[in-house]
Amino acid sequence: MAQMQNAQSVALQLEKVRDKLPLLYERDDILLTMIQQRGDVEKVSSRNMRLPLQIRPGGKAGLANLDGGDLGRGSGTTYDVAQVTPVFFRHAVEITKLVEYSTNAPEKAIENAAKREVKNNMAQFRSFLDKVMQTNGNGVLGTVGSIVTTGLPSGVGAQINLTTPPGAALFYYNQTIQFYDPTLTTNRNVAASVTSNILLVDPFNKFIQIDNLPTGTSVGDAVVHDGLTGSQPVSLFGVPYHQTNATTGTWLNLNRATYPVELATPHVAGNNAAITPGVVRLAINKVRKALGTNQSASSSLTPRSSRKTPGSSSAFPFRKSSRKEPEDAPAISTCSSPAS
């Protein structure tokens, strides 16, 4: 009789499962964390929150004749108020009862799936909010550069090649998205009664693949996150909304034309070239000139995030240096080359 082979003993052997779960996709929330760490957070109702601003100086300075001379009339500081309205986000997670039962003890699984999904998706939700904060308040995560509908894997309805910046940096796998026309007037998905879900995100080649492409989608259309409705949708006001040198339009219900200097972000045109230390230093010094050294960020700053901001502006989520910085230190906007 032949010797016992390994196949005859497999039923006796124990299966070893590594109890580590490495993360294999990007899930940063750096900007969101930096904002939350400031601690300047208020609980609000559904009504607008008022943000008082000391926006222009007052007083009339000059020489005076103290021997009975006229001291002249004075003036006072200009105050105004910005307003913000709460917006509400949700992040839906769904598992079956069998998943919960099959993983609720160490003897069954290396992780409790129900508990881990709550933890995972809170982190994913924060990452989503961080991405939305890279937008200018209308929820636009990218712009259609071209559309491919042939030669794709089974189940893929279309490949959307995205313009840069930001390319595909603000999307994630299995995300539900919507398409709007370039004027943000027509919601293509609503008009076609179609839901579009992301099947693949390639941040290096700047494209996403989706299951369904709404009828009428074309080059130049805006790709927005789920939940937006109607014409000119409003989402979370992100860095590009606040950091701009525009002198027209509104900022938090304040007319920029009324305060064309005070509400404009110091700006340096990079002429579509790579950002250099000299450009950054010039931007910082412009902030100092506009707000004074005491309110300006430290000049020794190092980048923390590789995520690019949509549009031609690059906002810098910086790590603080050892030098103490004021709590009200502003962000800086510099015009740069597209993200690679």
List the beta bridge partners of residue 223.
142, 179
Q: Is the pLDDT of residue 309 over 50?
A: no
What's the CA gap between 211 and 215, in Å, rounded? 13
Of 77 and 272, the structure prediction assigns the larger pLDDT to 77
Q: How many CB atoms lie within 10 A of CB 3?
A: 5
**pTM, full prediction:** 0.79
Residue 296 pLDDT grade (very low, low, confident, very high; cuts 50, 70, 90): low
pLDDT the model gives residue 180 = 98
Residue 279 to residue 300: CA distance in whole angstroms: 14
Other beta carbons within 10 angstroms of residue 139's beta carbon come to 24
- One-letter amino acid at 256 equals R
Length of the chain measured in residues? 340
Q: What is the pLDDT of residue 209?
A: 98
Q: Specify which residues 139 forms β-bridges with.
A: none
Mean pLDDT calculated for residue range 70-94 = 93
Beta-carbon count within 10 A of 123 CB: 14
**CA–centroid distance for 253 within its chain:** 21
Per-residue pLDDT at 303: 36
Query: CA-to-CA distance for 239 and 313, rounded, in angstroms?
Result: 9
User: How far is the CA of 186 from the CAs of 32, 221, 276, in angstroms?
Assistant: 30, 10, 40
pLDDT tier, 331 (very low <50, low <70, confident <90, very high otherwise): very low
Average pLDDT, the chain: 85
Do 301 and 277 touch, CB atoms closer than 8 A? no
Element (H, E) at 146: strand 140-148
- The residue ranking higher by pLDDT, 92 or 41, is 92
- Reported confidence tier of residue 319, pLDDT bands at 50, 70, 90: very low
Alpha-carbon distance 144 to 217, whole Å? Answer: 9
DSSP annotation of 241 reads H
Give the C-alpha separation, 134 to 331, whole Å. Answer: 13
Low-confidence winner among 177-191, 213-227, 260-274, 312-326 (lowest mean pLDDT) = 312-326
Domains of the chain, earliest start first: 87-132 (no CATH), 140-225 (2.40.30), 239-335 (no CATH)
Lowest mean pLDDT among 7-16, 24-33, 238-247, 330-339: 330-339
> What is the pLDDT averaged over residues 134-161?
96
pLDDT at site 40: 75
The pLDDT assigned to 165 comes to 87
Kindly give, in sequence order, each residue whose CB lies less than 8 Å from that of residue 339, ignoring residues fewer than 6 positions away: 164, 165, 166, 167, 169, 308
Tens digit of each residue's pLDDT (9 = 90 or more) over 193-223: 999 999 999 999 999 999 999 999 999 999 9
Please provide the DSSP assignment of 73-118 as one string. Answer: -----EEEEEEE------------HHHHHHTSSTTT-SS-HHHHHH
CA dist., res. 239 & res. 170, Å (int): 14
- The least confident of 66-70, 144-148, 223-227 is 66-70
Q: Is a pLDDT exceeding 60 seen at residue 332?
A: no
Would you state the pLDDT for residue 291? 84
Average pLDDT over residues 95-105: 95
